[in-house]
Amino acid sequence: MTEPFDAVDVIRTKRDGGSLSPAQIDWVVDAYTRGAVAEEQMSALAMAVFLRGMDRAEISRWTHAMIASGERLDFSPLVASGARRATADKHSTGGVGDKITLPLAPLVAVFGVAVPQLSGRGLGHTGGTLDKLEAVPGWRAALSNDEMLAQLREVGAVICAAGSGLAPADKKLYALRDVTGTVESIPLIASSIMSKKIAEGTQALVLDVKVGSGAFMKDLGSARQLARTMVDLGTDAGVRTTALLTDMSTPLGLAVGNAVEVEESVEVLAGGGPADVVELTVALAEEMLAASGVPGADPAAALRDGRAMDVWRAMLRAQGGDPDAPLPRARETETVTAAEDGVLTGLDAYRVGVAAWRLGAGRARKEDAVQAGAGVVLHAKPGDAVRAGQPLLSLRTDTPERFARAREALEGAVVIEPAAPAGAARRSVVLETVR
């Protein structure tokens, strides 16, 4: 086969600050996926993109080319048949204690919207939705496309693993970026996320872009740029897309791990739970419902009156899970206490996430196993008054030799001051909206 382009010419174009043509982008993504462009050549192109960037047209075409490398799901029969009013999805850029998908999917489904939530596993300090749900006895992540459609028709919500057929170019390129220092590129991050989300075939998409120490984006400026890029990509592809910038300087809720986050999600579905988790769940539900043509819905009421819980239980059962079975508990616990009296003014999300990871709740490599019961439970949040000796964190694991390294990770994570700073107040977890 004679190739229409030379990889070196494509690399040089971007290296020298030029724009890649649609034909060049289509070719290089396809050729890399089928092995006609070598790993070292795509590494060079990824670094050129990292250094030189891409304009909106390039990013849109790159995303389109990655989608074209695999299959696209089609949920339109659900709407055409009247089984569901619309389809909507949510994507989070990842954080610490971020269990929002668990209560959110059944909550939105209460209002007749189908929620096909294709999720992933955790890596490093950020947790994975599938790891959390696998703490539920019997629950299975792998579903066929037909099983997904049937569950969406009957239950309205599904949380499962994405099949290998969605954007295979992205899977190959992501692994390459991970080992070549090119992960932190907004064009490549945005196209990676959006190629999979657009290929899922949903009509509406709400993005939860985390900001802060526990997030990929540490500052508001970078988060805004990523959100704007992804919203534009969704819009260009005909998907109604909005983004919320949300605070990840402190862990979400009071639980960081797998089973402990499922337990907290059930509390939210029962009408309780931590205020920040409820706030973000309701805010994302309102955005998804508005984008799906269901304005004026009251998702907070559906949490209080048990309707969302009913869908949650049906969703678990449909995937083999037992919603009444006890969740796993870690065999060992250690407590971190306050060193002094005062006000807790800081609790670093990243350090707490690393501690949970080291306790066994996360993995360093994709092949690693996780402990269902491991994690960190918070007993105070920033703004709370604390006394010396008061429990602040409970560390949980099945392997007590992990405690020492978890405590190391927490060094500097807790900030206690004699009094709250003047004018300090709990701020909303939702910082901005990008449309």
- Classify strands 385-386 and 332-337 as parallel, antiparallel or unpaired: unpaired
Using alpha carbons, select from 236, 234, 212 the residue that is nearest to residue 223: 212
Catalytic entry in 90, 99, 196, 313:
196
Catalytic entry in 14, 172, 177, 197:
177
Token output for 228: 């704007």
Distance, CA of 192 to CA of 181 (rounded, Å): 16
Distance, CA of 171 to CA of 322 (rounded, Å): 32
Whether 91 is catalytic:
yes
Catalytic entry in 170, 247, 276, 348:
170
Residue 152 is inside which H or E element, if any? Answer: helix 145-154
Catalytic entry in 192, 249, 265, 394:
192
CA atoms within 13 A on the CB side of 388: 4
Distance, CA of 254 to CA of 376 (rounded, Å): 8
Terminus-to-terminus CA distance in the chain, angstroms?
44
Catalytic entry in 64, 91, 358, 396:
91
Whether 170 is catalytic:
yes
Token output for 209: 């872009």
Distance, CA of 361 to CA of 128 (rounded, Å): 10
Whether 192 is catalytic:
yes
In the block, which residue shows the tokens 């994690």? 375
Using alpha carbons, select from 171, 135, 156 the residue that is nearest to residue 322: 135
Residues serving a catalytic function are 91, 170, 177, 192, 196
